[in-house]
C-alpha cells in the first residue's frame, strides 16, 4: 500500500470522527444504544452485534461519537482488508470503489447493524478466497467463526452463504465443509435458543408481519435503478456492466458474481409484495468490488474520472449532516438535529417521570436525558421495549408525563425537531391502559 493511500485513509478517519461528533443520533442509533445497556443473545428487531460494538466503547464519555466510534474504526478495518485482498496495482481502485458506494461509504458514520454486516461480509470474502485457494485448517476455522458473526450482525448474512453454496456445490464434497458447518451452528445456538424462548418473534416479524404492499411496476423500477447507483453513484452502471460481462475464470469469482446477482434478484422478487429499503443490499459492496476491481476497464481515463467524481460527491455529502435541516431543506436531516434541546424542554416541563409512546421517542429521550425512558407502544408496532423488564425503576406505574402522537389524548401540543406533532400529557397513569401488564 502506497504512502499516499495510507495518508488518505488516515485523513478519511479524522474526517469521519469530526463529522460523526457533529450531529445527533438517529432514532435507531439511540435504540441500539439501549441494546448496549441490556446485552443479550438477541433482540426483537435485530441480532446483538450492534449493541455489543456500542458497549465496547461505553467507557468513553456519554456522547454521539462515543456511540459511533466503533463503527468508524470497523469501516476502516474493513476497507484495509479489501485493499490487502487485491494486487497492489488495484489497491487505489479498490479503496475508491469502497468510498464511492454511497451506503458502504456512509455506514461508518452511523451506529447501525449495516456496518457490522458489511465488515463481516468483507471478512467472509477474504477468508473464502484463502479457503478456496489453500483449503487449510486456519481459513476453515476463520470461516466457521465468521459465518455466525454474519448472522449475529444481521440476518441478511445468510444470503452470502446461500449464494456461495449455490455457486460452488462442490464445497459439499470437502470434509472441512462439514466441520465449518458444525462449528458455525454451535456458535449460533445461543441466538437460536433466544429466538425459541421468545417464540421466534424476530423471524415472524421480518418474514410474516412486516406490512405488505400491492404490486407496483414503479416500485420494481425504483428498486432496480437504486441498486445500480448504490454500486457507486456515477460509477454504478460501470460496476454492474463489468459484473454482468465478466466471465468467471475461478471459483472465487464465480461465488462473488452469484452473491451479487443472486441477492439483487432475491430482493427484486421480495419487492413484488413489499416495500424495499436501500440498506438491504449494503453487503454487496465487498463481492462487487472484489469482482470488478481487476477489470482493465478502470485503466480508461474517462472511467477513472467517473469513479473519482463519485468518490468526491459521496465524501462531500457527509457535510450535510452538520447543517440545520431548514437551511439545506432536506427533511430527513431533522432526525439528526435538535433532539438534545427538545429532550431538555420536555424534562423542564415534567416534574414526573417521562414515558413515551413509541420506541423512537423513548430511545431519543433516554439518550439525551441519560436516564431510562420506557415506551408504552400503545397502538404501535411491537419492539424490544415489550421485552425489557417493566419494573418501577424503568417503567413507572404511577403518574407520568406521557409523550405521544395519539390524538385521543389531551395535553400540551409539542413539535419534534423533525416537525412531527406530539402531545405532552401530564398526570397520565399508564396502568389505566389495557396494554400495560406488569
Q: What is the pLDDT of residues 41-89, one digit of tens each?
A: 999 999 999 999 999 999 999 999 999 999 999 999 999 999 999 999 9
Number of C-beta neighbours around residue 304 at 10 A = 16
pLDDT at residue 165 in the model = 97
Worst-scoring range by mean pLDDT, 226-230, 269-273, 367-371?
269-273
pLDDT mean across residues, the chain: 91
Global confidence as pTM: 0.94
d(CA 152, CA 39): 13
Q: Which residue has the higher pLDDT, 431 or 138?
A: 138
C-alpha cell at 332: 430527513
Tell the burial category of 244 from Cβ atoms under 10 Å away from its Cβ (0-12, 13-18, 19+). Answer: exposed
Closest by CA position to 378, among listed 300, 437, 336: 437
pLDDT at residue 309 in the model = 96
pLDDT-derived band of residue 396, with 50, 70 and 90 as boundaries? low
pLDDT-derived band of residue 438, with 50, 70 and 90 as boundaries? very low
Examine the pLDDT at 384 and tell me if it is beyond 80: yes
C-alpha cell at 405: 402522537
pLDDT at residue 390 in the model = 56
pLDDT-derived band of residue 206, with 50, 70 and 90 as boundaries? confident
d(CA 371, CA 113): 23
The percentage of the chain sitting over the pLDDT mark of 90, rounded to a whole number, equals 76
For the residues 403-416, what does the mean pLDDT come to? 91
pLDDT at residue 395 in the model = 60
For the residues 13-23, what does the mean pLDDT come to? 96
pLDDT-derived band of residue 207, with 50, 70 and 90 as boundaries? confident
Q: At what angle do helices 251-270 and 236-245 cross, to 10 degrees?
A: 120
DSSP secondary structure of 354-365? EEESSHHHHHHH
What are the distances in angstroms from CA 167 to CA 164, 264, 309? 5, 15, 34
Examine the pLDDT at 434 and tell me if it is beyond 70: no
- Report pLDDT digits (tens) over 414-431: 999 988 999 999 988 877
Backbone angles phi, psi at 120, to 5 degrees: -65, -30
C-alpha cell at 119: 465488515
d(CA 145, CA 143): 5
pLDDT-derived band of residue 437, with 50, 70 and 90 as boundaries? very low
pLDDT at residue 13 in the model = 96
pLDDT at residue 394 in the model = 56
Enumerate the β-bridge partners of residue 400. Answer: 428
- Report pLDDT digits (tens) over 155-168: 999 999 999 999 99
For the residues 215-229, what does the mean pLDDT come to? 91
d(CA 4, CA 273): 48
For the residues 376-395, what does the mean pLDDT come to? 74
**Is 123:84 a contact under the CB 8 Å cutoff?**
no
pLDDT at residue 389 in the model = 64
Residues 66-71: contacts with CB under 8 Å, at least 24 apart: 67/25, 67/29, 67/33, 67/111, 68/20, 68/29, 68/109, 68/110, 68/111, 69/17, 69/20, 70/111, 71/107, 71/108, 71/109, 71/110, 71/111, 71/112, 71/115, 71/116
Amino acid at each position: 500500500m502506497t504512502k499516499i493511500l495510507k495518508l488518505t485513509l488516515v485523513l478519511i478517519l479524522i474526517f469521519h470522527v469530526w463529522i460523526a461528533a457533529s450531529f445527533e443520533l438517529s432514532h435507531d442509533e439511540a435504540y441500539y444504544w439501549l441494546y448496549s445497556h441490556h446485552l443479550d443473545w438477541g433482540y426483537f428487531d435485530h441480532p446483538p452485534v450492534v449493541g455489543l460494538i456500542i458497549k465496547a466503547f461505553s467507557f468513553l464519555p456519554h456522547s454521539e461519537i462515543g456511540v459511533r466510534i466503533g463503527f468508524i474504526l470497523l469501516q476502516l478495518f474493513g476497507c484495509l482488508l479489501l485493499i490487502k485482498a487485491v494486487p497492489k496495482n488495484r489497491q487505489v481502485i479498490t479503496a475508491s470503489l469502497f468510498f464511492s458506494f454511497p451506503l458502504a461509504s456512509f455506514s461508518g458514520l452511523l451506529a447501525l447493524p449495516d456496518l457490522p454486516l458489511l465488515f463481516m461480509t468483507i471478512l467472509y470474502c477474504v477468508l473464502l478466497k484463502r479457503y478456496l485457494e489453500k483449503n487449510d485448517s486456519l481459513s476453515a476455522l476463520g470461516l466457521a467463526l465468521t459465518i455466525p458473526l454474519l448472522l449475529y450482525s444481521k440476518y441478511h448474512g445468510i444470503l452470502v452463504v446461500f449464494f456461495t453454496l449455490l455457486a460452488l456445490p462442490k464445497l459439499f464434497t470437502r470434509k472441512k465443509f462439514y466441520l465449518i458447518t458444525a462449528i458455525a451452528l454451535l456458535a449460533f445456538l445461543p441466538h437460536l435458543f433466544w429466538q425459541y424462548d421468545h417464540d421466534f418473534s424476530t423471524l415472524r416479524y421480518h418474514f410474516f408481519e412486516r406490512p405488505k404492499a400491492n404490486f407496483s411496476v414503479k416500485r420494481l423500477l425504483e428498486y432496480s435503478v437504486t441498486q445500480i447507483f448504490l454500486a457507486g453513484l456515477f460509477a454504478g452502471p460501470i460496476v454492474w456492466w463489468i459484473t454482468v460481462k465478466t466471465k468467471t475464470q475461478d471459483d472465487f469469482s464465480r461465488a462473488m458474481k452469484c452473491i451479487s446477482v443472486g441477492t439483487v434478484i432475491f430482493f427484486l422478487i421480495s419487492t413484488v409484495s413489499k416495500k424495499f429499503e436501500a440498506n438491504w443490499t449494503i453487503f454487496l459492496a465487498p463481492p462487487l468490488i472484489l469482482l470488478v476491481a481487476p477489470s482493465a476497464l478502470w485503466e480508461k481515463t474517462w472511467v477513472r474520472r467517473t469513479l473519482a467524481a463519485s468518490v468526491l460527491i459521496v465524501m462531500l455529502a457527509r457535510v450535510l449532516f452538520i447543517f440545520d435541516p431548514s437551511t439545506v431543506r432536506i427533511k430527513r436531516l431533522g432526525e439528526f438535529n435538535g433532539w438534545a434541546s427538545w429532550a431538555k424542554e420536555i424534562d423542564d416541563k415534567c416534574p414526573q417521570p417521562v414515558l413515551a409512546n413509541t420506541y423512537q421517542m423513548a430511545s431519543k429521550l433516554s439518550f439525551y436525558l441519560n436516564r431510562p425512558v420506557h415506551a408504552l407502544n400503545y397502538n404501535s408496532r411491537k419492539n424490544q421495549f415489550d421485552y425489557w423488564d417493566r419494573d418501577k425503576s424503568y417503567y413507572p406505574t404511577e403518574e407520568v408525563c406521557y409523550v405521544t402522537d395519539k390524538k385521543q389524548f389531551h395535553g400540551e401540543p409539542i413539535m419534534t425537531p423533525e416537525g412531527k406533532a406530539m402531545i405532552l400529557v401530564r398526570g397520565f397513569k399508564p396502568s389505566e391502559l389495557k396494554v400495560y401488564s406488569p
